[in-house]
Amino acid sequence: MKLWSGRFRSQLDPFALKFSSSLDVDKQLYREDIEGSLAHVAMLAKQKIISSSEAAAIRKALKEIEREISRGKLKLDGRSPKQRFVAEDVHMAIEQRLMEKVGPLGGKLHTARSRNDQIALDERLYLRRTAQHILKLIRQLQRTFVAKASQYESVLMPGYTHLQRAQPILLAHHLLAYVSMLERDNERFSDVLKRVNRSPLGAGALAGTSHPIDRKSAARSLGFDSLIENSIDAVSDRDVLIEFIAHCSIVMMHLSRFAEELVLWSSQEWRFAEIGDAFTTGSSIMPQKKNPDMAELVRAKTGRVYGDLIALLTVMKGLPLAYNRDMQEDKEPLFDAASTVTDSLAICSSMLKTVRFDVKRFEKELASDFLLATELADYLVRKGLPFRKAHSIVGVLVRVCSEKRTSLAELPLTEYRKRSKLFEKDVHKVLDPRASLSRKRSAGSTSPKEVQKAIRSWMKKLRS
C-alpha cells in the first residue's frame, strides 16, 4: 500500500510505479533528507506541535536509520525490510523505515511538511555541500597550476592566437591564465551559495501551513542565512540548480581547453609536453603509443555537463506554478554534473602534477619563426612612425623572409633599410625573445617582473 493511498480504491499499476519511481536516483540524498527531518522534528517540538518525548523517539530512530544506510545494513531499493510498503522515493523509504521503528508516531514527522518543500530543502543542502567541495577542488587545481608555473618560471615559449604562433611569452604566464579562469569559477560558486543558502522548509505543498511553525528557527538550525519568502516560489523553482549546473559547465569548458592543449602539446607534431605514465594509456595493437586518454575524457565529459544544463532548462521551461512531477527529473542532471565536475577537477590536478614541459623544444621553436615581428613594428613606432605604417613595413619584411626562406634575425640590415631608413644597426638587438619580454611594461603582461609578481600574489592568496 501507499502512504497516500486513502484517496484511491486501487493500487498503482506496477509498471506505473516503476516508471515514476525516483528512488534509484534520489537515494543519494538520504543524509540531507534525514538532516532536514531532524531539524523539522526539533522545530515541531519547540512549537509544542508534538511532545518532547515524541520528538526524542523520532530523532533517535532517524539517527539509527542514517547509520543503517551508511553502513549498508539498510538498502534503499524500494522495499522496507518487512515488505509492507514499496517506496517511490527517498523520503517515503525513510519514512516507512521510521514507522517500522516507532509505529504510527512516525507519521507525525510529516506534520506541517510536504514532499514538495522537503525535496527543495534536500537539494539545497546537497548543493551547499557540493559547491563547497567544488570550491576546495578549484583551489587545489589553482595551487597545482601556480606550483607548475613557479617550477618553469623563466621558460619562454611561443604564444598563440588562432592556433598560429604570435609572440614569445613565458610558459608561467600561459599557465597562470588558467589560474585566473579558475578564480572566476571560484567567484561564481561562492556567489551561488548566497542564493542556495535560503530555506524552503515550511512552504508546504505550495500554500504554507496552518500549524504554528517557526520557519526561521528551523532555517537557523540548518545553517541557512534566510528564508525563501514566497511559499509557491519555494517549491516550484529550480533556478539555483540551473545556476549551479551552468557554473559547472563553465568549469568544464575551462578544463576542456586545458585538456585540449595537453592533447596537442603531447603529440609528436608539437612535443611541448609529456604527461606522466599514470595518466596515459597504450594501444592494444600499436606498441609505441602513449595516449592522453584522461585529457581526452575530460574534454568529452564537458559535453555531458552541457547536456545536463540543457536537460534541466528544458524540463523547467514550460511548467505552470506550482510544483509539477516533471521536476522529479531535476536530480539526474544535477548529480551527473556535480560528480563529473568534481572528478574532472581532481583528475586534472593530479595529471598536471605529472606533466613535464620540453624546454629545449620551446627554445628551438622560438628561433624558427616570426614571433618578434610585433617587436619590429614597435621599434619603428618608438622612432616616430605611426603603428599602421610600421605594421605594413614589417609585413613586407616577413614576406621577404618567407620568400628567401630565412628568418628576421638572419635578414641583413640592407634589406631592412630598403623598407625604412629608420632601421639602424641596433635593429637585430630587438630580435631577442628574452629582451622582448623584458621590454613589456603593462600590468598583467608576460614580462618576467609581472609574472614573478603574479606568482607571488597567487601563492599568498591561495595559502589563505
Active site residues: 162, 283
Q: How many helices (H) and strands (E) does the chain have?
A: 19, 6
DSSP-based three-state secondary structure for 270:
coil
What type of residue is 159?
Answer: G
The total number of residues written for the chain in this structure:
464
Distances in Å between the Cα of 45 and the Cα atoms of 54, 63, 218, 286, 444 are 8, 17, 11, 69, 58
- Cα separation of 183 and 187, whole Å? 6
Among 329, 345, 351, residue whose Cα is nearest residue 280 = 351
Are the C-beta atoms of 45 and 55 separated by less than 8 Å?
Answer: yes
What type of residue is 213?
Answer: I
Find all residues with CB under 8 Å of 392, minimum gap 6, and list them. Answer: none
Q: Is 318 exposed, middle or buried (0-12, 13-18, 19+ CB in 10 A)?
A: exposed
Find all residues with CB under 8 Å of 184, minimum gap 6, and list them. Answer: 250
Return the number of other C-beta atoms located less than 10 Å from residue 187's C-beta: 12
- 161's enclosing H/E stretch is strand 156-161
Find all residues with CB under 8 Å of 151, minimum gap 6, and list them. Answer: none
- Cα separation of 204 and 367, whole Å? 70
- Cα separation of 455 and 145, whole Å? 10
> What is the distance, to the nearest Å, from the Cα of residue 43 to the centroid of all Cα atoms in its chain?
35
Q: Is 148 exposed, middle or buried (0-12, 13-18, 19+ CB in 10 A)?
A: buried
Return the number of other C-beta atoms located less than 10 Å from residue 189's C-beta: 24
DSSP-based three-state secondary structure for 271:
coil
Are the C-beta atoms of 435 and 400 separated by less than 8 Å?
Answer: no
Are the C-beta atoms of 185 and 250 separated by less than 8 Å?
Answer: yes
237: left (phi over 0), alpha (psi -120 to 50) or beta: beta
Sole residue written with cell 583551489: 139
DSSP-based three-state secondary structure for 158:
strand
